[in-house]
Amino acid sequence: MVNDLLHLVFGGKVNDPQTMEFIDPDNLHIVGIFPNYEQAYQAWKQASHANVDDAMMKYVVVHLHRFMVPQE
């Protein structure tokens, strides 16, 4: 099914909220791997909301399925 695509949600402190440069990559908060974007988005939203008072904390959704399928 098209919607069954793996997504990773993780976050951590960044140097600049407009970049993806994490301060301490060894201590990232791995929220989880989800079977579709909808579930990943909800997890991202929950983790982001829990850290809304920390402007330097950033959570992202990574489309793992894009790394798993070789491009032709």
Q: How confident is the model at residue 72 (pLDDT cuts 50, 70, 90)?
A: low
User: What's residue 70's pLDDT?
Assistant: 67
Q: How confident is the model at residue 21 (pLDDT cuts 50, 70, 90)?
A: very high
Give the pTM: 0.85
Spans of all domains in the chain: 7-68
CA distances 53 to 8, 30, 45, 57, 62, Å, are 23, 19, 14, 9, 23
Q: How confident is the model at residue 8 (pLDDT cuts 50, 70, 90)?
A: very high
Which CATH code fits 7-68? Answer: 3.30.70.2400
| Structure tokens that stand for 5 in this block | 């695509």
Mean pLDDT of 11-28: 94
Mean pLDDT of 45-61: 95
Q: Which residue has the tokens 């983790």?
A: 47
For residue 52, the SS3 value is: coil
In angstroms, the first-to-last Cα distance of the chain is 20
